[in-house]
Amino acid sequence: MPYPWPTQATSSFATLARLHLVGELVQAVLGVLDIERATLVGHSLGGGVAMQFAYQFPERTDRLILVSTGGVGREVNPVLRAVSLPGADLMLSSLSLPGMRSQVGLFTRLIKLLDTDLGQDAAELLNVVDALPDATSRSAFISTLRSVVDWRGQVVTMLDRCYLAEGMPTLLLWGSRGSVVPVRHAYGAHAAMPGSRLEIFQGAGHFPFHSDPARFRALVEDFIRTTAPADWSQERWRELLRVGRPSSGVGELDSAYHRAVERDRREASERNAT
């Protein structure tokens, strides 16, 4: 369901084509596995893939569980912006050199000791790089990243299609100190998706399922147990498409953030009072 930002017209068609093909790939995999409908769990870029699938194939989507997902705002870690630039393959391959590796390890420990948000995720992000053993893997990773991120930040958004998730049970899981996609995007997504649930992992970074796996599993299992699968209707879907999205625009992340924060504070106060 993520779509290009309006100012990104030059790359719109390429981006849409990539996302459309990824959605079809997920459908093909489900077909091979003989799975008719599924609850989709997507992390980071995978969250965008899950939403794209839900938009293309709502009749096959029971629920959405989005974890630190992209596509809510432009902001993204500067390191990922750098990887989208020319020469990124050489930069990533240099990280595996013995001398460079020790320096990167020292820097990682330092920023963690300084208690920075990037320090929360640095080791995990390096593990992602380590999982790219050769030039082919690195090239595929960079190509995928460039389809959604450039030097200015994220170039796709799901906010202009969130209204299509009406009636789709959706759970949003986010770390309060995520350095890749900031937590304010969680509140923006929550405000843009009425009926969604939002759970924040305090002190966690971009990988909340590693920070507190027991809580993560419990939340996912509870969400699936306490919600009914989406009741998809072709007539309702057609009506949503005809009416279009509400008047709030994709540039209103700040107001959405503040509305959602205020709502969460009010609900927390009410729970404490009872």
Residue 203 has what pLDDT? Answer: 92
What DSSP string runs through 122-138?
A: HHHHHHHHHT--SHHHH
Nearest CA to 64 among 211, 196, 188? 196
pLDDT of residue 19: 66
Phi and psi at residue 31, in whole multiples of 5°?
-65, -45
**What amino acid occupies position 42?**
G
Q: What is the dihedral of CA 195, 201, 202, 207, to 10 degrees?
A: -130
* Threshold 0.85, pTM exceeds: no
- Cα–Cα dist 159/99, whole Å: 44
pLDDT given at position 99: 63
pLDDT of residue 9: 36
Question: Is residue 180 within 8 Å of residue 206, measured between CB atoms?
Answer: yes
Task: Say what the pLDDT of residue 151 is.
Answer: 82
Residue 226: per-residue pLDDT: 97
Torsion sign across C-alpha atoms 132, 136, 142, 143: negative
Separation of alpha carbons 239 and 229, rounded Å: 20
State residue 271's pLDDT score: 42
The whole-angstrom separation of Cα 2 and Cα 49 is 8
What contacts 24+ positions apart, CB below 8 Å, involve 43-48? 43/67, 43/68, 43/69, 43/207, 43/209, 44/68, 44/69, 44/70, 44/180, 44/181, 44/206, 45/70, 45/144, 45/145, 45/148, 47/71, 48/1, 48/2, 48/19, 48/148, 48/156, 48/158
**pLDDT in the model for residue 90:** 74
Number of Cβ within 10 Å of residue 130's Cβ equals: 11
Low-confidence ranges of the chain (pLDDT < 70): 1-19, 95-115, 117, 119, 245-274
Q: How far apart are CA 252 and CA 106, in angstroms?
A: 40
- Pull the structure tokens for residue 164: 């299509």
pLDDT of residue 103: 62
- Which among 157, 151, 1 is positioned nearest to 77, based on CA atoms? 151
